[in-house]
Amino acid sequence: MVSKTYDSREDPWLEISPVYGLTLFIAGGIYFLFKRYQRIKYRAVPFTVKVPAAASSKWTSVVIENPSLESHLMNSSLMPTARVPLLMQGIHHPGSKKADDDTPLYITCFDPSTGYHLDTISADSEYDIAEKISLARRAWAKSRWGESTFNERKRVMRSLLRWVVKNRETCARVACRDTGKTMLDAALGEILTTCAKLEYLIDHGEAALKPESRKSAPLMFYKSSKVYYEPLGVVAAIVSWNYPFHNLISPIIAALFAGNACVVKCSEQVLWSSTWFMGAIRECLAACDLPADLVQLICCYPSEADALTMSPHIKHITFIGSETVGRKILQAASIHLTPVTLELGGKDPCVILPETDLPKWIDVWLRGSFQNCGQNCIGIERFIVHSSQHDQLVKLLTEKTKKLRFGPALAEGSNDGGYVAPVDCGSMISRHRFGDLERVIQEAEEEGATVFLGGHPWKHPYVEEGMYFEGTVVANVSPSMEIAQHEPITVDRWPWLIQTSIPAPLQYPIRSVVKSWDFLSGMIQLFWGESIGERTSGVFQIIKASR
């Protein structure tokens, strides 16, 4: 038998000096202090923006007779009284395409759900557009924003997200006032989507822009290949009117996170709200010690748009709108080979497979069809259904659509504020296309389609200048008809556990405007609240609104 005694001096681990342990402890402390410093340095920066008076439901204004973008030409009292700086006047300098070179151009802003006059704002001339592009270029170069760190970019995103969450109702009201949509439509299409995109950039933007390795060909086995994403400089976006906040801020935050400056041309239809939203973004940049001129807002008539799309200083163009305008932008951008990304309109179908439980999904389809009064780039515009279920679907759609109530979303409720008249759908953005809508529906009927409901403009009994069109159901439509001519497929990830549905407070007809807003407001607070307390409060708000 052999025995061996243990000598602690033979264990190498016990011979390590305490200095090593102390060094590790100090290193760990320094690391955690550095991470805390980073969190504090790049956390959200608070800022405030003055709330416009028109965002209040108690606000009233002059009602414009048959309002349009050029109502100020027929009614001189709508013209602005304050003197406007030269850059903002829309003066048309030599070389401008307007005949009257020195005539200022203006845009009349109005609430399409009531006809209320919001403001009359000067339109940008070619000179103004060139100057704003130049301001963005100088700000980008001087601030060296293209060389900024991802932490610096995330701070801007966090600051915007914090502001949107805290001011969600004001943002929704501003969008409602300028487009005539409902608060529910604004919450779904403006606030939720914007918060989700900001969160995505904060969580995944850096990974998306990191250098990527590429495999080499066998003959180049001794070399490595990588793709680097570098800022372009000043990029542009031309966006549509249907979601003025979301469509404006989306290309801006993407451009800023990629290290670019951004010039956005908004639609003339939503200049009033776009001006306020852009002011908030510029205020955020200033609060983050960055030049506000990194972002610029342009609003002009089509005759001046080439000054943006043909500018040699614009390095990329994003366009959201119709195919017709998209082709013109491509042609203009081709002069300097400017890269273009197009998101064009379509005629989105909902394909219903045989034996589908129609009553189960009817609320989802209605929300998809009448969200934002159908003025929705990914909304449902036609249904393709098996003949065996055609009649049942038409009956369900007609019965539900008949119950929809149209009206101004920001109409004042009871004196004590305890009751707000429920509105399911707001107004259209303008009357401009009412004639075409009626014509297309009438032609479809003449070609054999059946109009079960609607098909005409609707005159609100209390709001004479509101721009409303009846909820319309047309069946027996053939693919050759114009109504079927003039697109993403989604599936539930875990259908056995959870399926897409419309919560009761959001179903048509809306039971309570207040509860529907509280439900979505609670969702925003739950997912994007800053603290545990805020998120918990959001849960209770959802539960209360669901009762």
DSSP class of residue 216 equals: P
Which amino acids are annotated catalytic? 343, 377
CB 112 within 8 A of CB 406: no
Q: Which residue's entry shows tokens 């009871």? A: 414
Pull the structure tokens for residue 191. 């606030």
| Torsion sign across C-alpha atoms 244, 247, 250, 256 | negative
Contacts of 291 (CB under 8 A, 6+ apart): 139, 142, 143, 285
Torsional class of 454: left (φ above 0), alpha (ψ -120 to 50), beta (otherwise)? left
Nearest partner of 186 among 256, 247, 267, 110, judged by Cα: 247
CA angle 114, 120, 121 (to 5 degrees): 130
Nearest of 381, 383, 342 to residue 486 by alpha carbon: 381
List the beta bridge partners of residue 423: none
Q: Which residues of 7-43 are buried (b: 16+ CB within 10 A; e: fewer)?
A: eeeeeeeeeeeeeeeeeeeeeeeeeeeeeeeeeeebe
- Is 395 buried (19+), middle (13-18) or exposed (0-12) by CB count in 10 A? middle
Position 306, amino acid: D
The string of DSSP codes covering 511-541 is S-HHHHHHHHHHHHHHHH-SSHHHHHHHHHH
Long-range contacts of 490-499 (CB under 8 A, 24+ apart): none
Rounded Cα gap, residues 448 and 431, in angstroms: 27
Q: Which of 288, 324, 335, 273 is nearest to 44 (CA)?
A: 288
Place of tokens 């409303």: 468
Distance between CA atoms of residues 271 and 273, nearest Å: 6
Query: Which residues, other chains included, contact 104 with Cβ-Cβ below 8 Å and sequence gap of 6+?
Result: 89, 90, 91, 122
